[in-house]
Amino acid sequence: MTTTISNTKLTAKINHKGAELFSLQTNNTKTEYIWEGNPDFWGKHSPVLFPIVGTLKNNSYIFNNQDYTLSRHGFARDMNFELIDKTENSATFSIQSSAETLKVYPFEFELQIIYTLEDYKLNIQYKVINKNQSQLPFSIGAHPAFALNGNFEDYELEFEKEEPLIYHLLENDLISSATETLEKQDNLVKLNYPLFENDALIFKNLESKKLTISNNEIPFLRVDFQGFPNLGIWTKKDAPFICIEPWYGYSDTNKSTGNLFEKEGIQILERNEVFDSKFTIEII
């Protein structure tokens, strides 16, 4: 099943599986901004990462002296969400803990994802509700892939602030201690495929909270991720898309103890509390 929302400027389409955004178009030009999901490169569009972001060491963790297995990026992206509220320009989706989720993640929760169109902006809001009788450890993140037509190297990323762009490398899907610094000019980073030879670029502590995609220095899309502490940027070789990924959390390091509550970047939600955050995709 899919749901469509629209306003006078934009139309967005969301798949109920994973509550995954798979289309964002301008109404006047019908320009598509979300990657088509060609499986020859990557068969997804904009999956939601929950209750972990990235990969656990040995794909496992320990809770109450028991081992659990949880695959890369968690299970939310593969679950069927319920549409619990709908207006012309907004839609709210929900999943809750179940017998199946409790086998791999022994915590009671509800996850709501709210899509709202506002002028030329799409707001994507995450609500995590702790229904557990104790603390809820989790990470959550976005993974939208934006379509890039034409020559990949004609595109640039513009960072909001003047700062050194230090990123961590991945090694066997885990965060390495090795870092590199992106070359830039006037806050612009030219895209090229060799940047991603070692998988995603992982930024733990960026001051910039807005990232703009430009084509030959003409901006056309901006991601605003105020509040999100971490960011991933990723593509695959020769693929005509770029992923801008605001995160709360990231993959384990090789030094991870396996204790979920000690995991780097983990969020801890107290009993009966609600985590609430959003990011925005703006068509310029």
Domain that holds residue 105: 2-283
Structural domains of the chain, count? 1
Q: What are phi and psi of 76, to 5 degrees?
A: -60, -35
Report the chain's mean pLDDT, rounded to a whole number.
Answer: 96
3-state secondary structure of 55: coil
Mean pLDDT of all residues in 139-154: 97
Do 6 and 117 meet the contact criterion of CB atoms below 8 Å apart? yes
Q: Could you give the CA distance from residue 77 to residue 4 in angstroms, rounded to a whole number?
A: 19
Beta bridge partners of residue 210, listed in sequence order: 224
- Percentage with pLDDT > 90 across the chain: 94
Q: Render pLDDT for 53-84 as a digit per residue (tens, 0 to 9).
A: 999 999 999 999 999 999 999 999 999 999 99
pTM, whole model, 2 decimals?
0.96
**What phi, psi does 58 have (nearest 5°)?**
60, 20
Tell me, what DSSP letter sits at residue 186?
T
The whole-number pLDDT of residue 233 equals 98
Q: Band of the pLDDT at 39, cuts 50, 70, 90?
A: very high
Cα–Cα dist 53/189, whole Å: 25
Does the bond joining 51 to the residue before it have cis omega, within 30 degrees of 0?
Answer: yes
Alpha helices of the chain — where are they, by DSSP H? 99-104
Q: Which residues are CB-neighbours of 57 under 8 A, at least 6 positions away?
A: 174, 252, 253, 254, 256, 258
| Per-residue pLDDT at 222 exceeds 90 | yes
**Distance in angstroms (rounded) separating the CA atoms of residues 218 and 160:** 15
pLDDT at site 186:
87
- CATH number for the domain that contains residue 53: 2.70.98.10
Q: How confident is the model at residue 172 (pLDDT cuts 50, 70, 90)?
A: confident
Average the pLDDT over 197-225 and give the result.
Answer: 95
Q: What is the mean pLDDT of residues 110-129?
A: 98
The pLDDT of residue 254 is 87
